[in-house]
Every structure is written in C-alpha cells, then in structure tokens.
Amino acid sequence: MKAMELYEYARPELLSGKKLLYVHGFASSGQSGSVRTLRTLLPGTEIIAPDLPVAPDQAMELLRGIVEEQKPAVVVGTSMGAMYSEMLCGVDRILVNPAFRLADTILRNNGLGRQEYHNPRLDGQTSFLVTKGLIEQFRETSSHCFEHAGSDRDRVYGLFGIHDTMVDTFGLFSSHYPNAIRFDGEHYLNDAAILHSVLPVLQWIDDRQEKRQKPLIFISLSERIVNHSSGFPKAVEYLAAMYDLHIVASVPYNEPGLGLKAFEWCEANLGVPVWNRLTLTNHKNQLLGDYLIDACPEENSGEDFLGTLIHFGSDAFRTWEDVMEYFGRLGGQ
C-alpha cells in the first residue's frame, strides 16, 4: 500500500491526544515500517518507539521505565516485543504474533551468531551477536510471562496471523487470556494488517477507555448479503469505526452446524472488526439495537425489529455504497 493511499485512511480522532508505545521484534528497531505506518494512520497519537537493548533484562528495564514515566494509553508489541509487552502489567496491550518461546524460535531459525538489524537504529549499530548465553537470558525472561495474567485478563489482546510460519502461540495465549484473535496476515506486520486488524482493536480499547456508548448496528447474514460480499468487508470496516457493529445469523434449530459455518465465513471474509460479535438467533424481533441491516426482513421477524430497519436491496439501499452514504450522513448517530 502506497504512502498516499495510507493517508486516505488516517484516523486523527482515534487515540487522539494519547500515547502509544510500540515494542519492536527481534533484530528490528523503532524505525521500522510499522512505526511509520502507525504514525501515518494515527496523526493525533504520540507514537513512542524505542530501540530495544539486545539483553532482555535491559530491554524490560527500559520498557517498564517508559510505561511508568510516559504512561502510554496502549502498548503494541510484535513477536519478541509482544513477549516483552505481555509483562508490562496495568496497561492495555495488543500482542501481535507473540514469541513467548523466543529462545526456541531463534534456535529453530538458525539465529545464533552475528545477526544484522532489519532497520536502522539510532545508535548506528548495524549488527549484534547472539550467543548461547543470550539465548538462555531470553529463556529466563520469557519464563516470567503470564505471572500476572489473572489481573489483566481483559486488557490484553492477542493477534495471530493465520499465515505465520515462525511462531504459533495461539493455544498458549488463549489458555491465559480470552481475547485471542486470528487475522489474515503473516508473522511480520504490513500496512494491510495494521489497517484492517490492529486499528479495529485500538478502536475497541479507545472506546472502552473513553466509556463511549455507540449506537448498535446488526447486520443479518443471508444469501443476498453474502452474494454482495465484494463490498461487504469495506462496509463493515467503515461502519465499525463509528458504530458498535454486530453480525446476526439465523440457524435452523435442526441444523446447528450452520452456526459454525457462519462463524467461519465471518472470520474468513470480515476478519477482526466482527471478532466476538456474531449472534445466532431465529427471532430478530428480540434483538436490542438501534439499526438492523437486513436483506430478508420478512424472515425470522426482521420486520418487527424495534429499531430502524435498513432493507438492503431496496430502492434506497441497493448497494453497500448506499448504506455507507446513509450512515456517513448520520455521522455515528
């Protein structure tokens, strides 16, 4: 994604006036492309991105000092940095592909010996040495992960790329924290992953911190909705930035397996913005929300929804562009 295209997606209102601490991964630095992307997308946010010392005890000392002094609203860590971030208790964190078993990951990827930094560092160093002693330091440091997980259960989100071939700690993370989320990405973050997967989680955190009560939109899955799926993900991302967005699926009582199919379709096609936001019901009139977008309101009592019914496919809402234009005029109301 080109820089000019990124500017079009900038969210100056998101985390406005707050600080975000970015904790880079192994052999990276605070001058990575991910930091540049975050600064482009979040122009109202101060992004703190230090170059981490190689020694893990020194890195943790630096990070804890920054959290204490700068008081960031949220910490985003990737890979090794996500492992460190998990231990920064008392602050909201997003852990992207956390390398909780960093020592084993380094050994498995032939990481011993002289290593080149992937990005420039402020100290001018271009390489560093990974010894067996350093590996054991990483192993000892990572052994302290999850020691305080019980007190921070709802303040830590894990993002796990479904194409990540370097680390797989989804099961380990989810055994300690409930917010384990898969996203369409690889081990290393790119612009698309930050835009489509990290930003939605930052939005949830910012909304909770500010105690925002957003109007609630339900979108009812149906064959007509799915057949218009080319514009559906874009509309979901657009609406999720302004509203509390949820997906509704009707599942025949004697075909419960369709519920799993609805979940899999949402995860594969809509991604992070609808994570943990799927409701199964055959009685849409019992939904408590402000808006229902429904291509088949005549089914399962959608016409009796107590809020505002948006009949997708009608003359007023033939396309997702029509829907986005309508809600854009409302401006989050």
- Residue 293 contacts residue 310 (beta carbons within 8 Å): yes
Residue-level pLDDT at 169: 97
CA distances from 19 to 66, 74, 125, 250, 292 (A): 11, 7, 27, 42, 35
Residue 188: both structure tokens together? 């290393």
Distance CA 288, CA 203 (A): 22
Average pLDDT estimate for 237-259: 94
Nearest CA among 95, 125, 110, 157 for reference residue 28: 125
Report DSSP letters for 115-158, one per residue.
EE-SS--TT---EEEE-HHHHHHHHHHHTTTTTTGGGGGGGEEE
Q: What is the CA radius of gyration of the chain?
A: 22
One-letter identity of residue 232: F
Residue-level pLDDT at 224: 83
Distance CA 230, CA 278 (A): 20
- Residue 18 contacts residue 48 (beta carbons within 8 Å): no
Nearest CA among 162, 37, 136, 145 for reference residue 82: 145
Residue with tokens 């990276």, as numbered in its chain: 28
pLDDT digits (tens, 9 = 90+) for 40-69: 999 999 999 999 999 999 999 999 999 999
Report phi then psi at 245, rounded to 5.
-100, 135
Average pLDDT estimate for 236-265: 94
Confidence of residue 110 (pLDDT cuts 50, 70, 90): confident
Residue 228 has pLDDT above 90, yes or no: no
Residue with tokens 């990827």, as numbered in its chain: 109
Average pLDDT estimate for 72-88: 98
- Name the packing angle between helices 56-70 and 132-142 (round to 10°): 40
Distance CA 283, CA 11 (A): 36
CA distances from 104 to 9, 26, 180, 186, 191 (A): 38, 13, 22, 19, 28
Residue-level pLDDT at 2: 55
Average pLDDT estimate for 158-176: 97
Average pLDDT estimate for 62-83: 98
pLDDT digits (tens, 9 = 90+) for 12-41: 999 999 999 999 999 999 999 999 999 999
Mean pLDDT for all residues in the chain: 95
- For the chain, which domains are there? 3-210 (3.40.50.1820), 216-330 (3.40.50.1000)
Average pLDDT estimate for 248-255: 92
- Residue 311 contacts residue 297 (beta carbons within 8 Å): yes
One-letter identity of residue 5: E
What number of other Cβ atoms are within 10 A of residue 13's Cβ?
12
Q: In terms of C-beta density within 10 A (0-12 exposed, 13-18 middle, 19 or more buried), how is residue 175 classed?
A: exposed
Task: Tell me, yes or no, if the pTM score tops 0.85.
Answer: yes
- Name the packing angle between helices 320-330 and 232-240 (round to 10°): 10
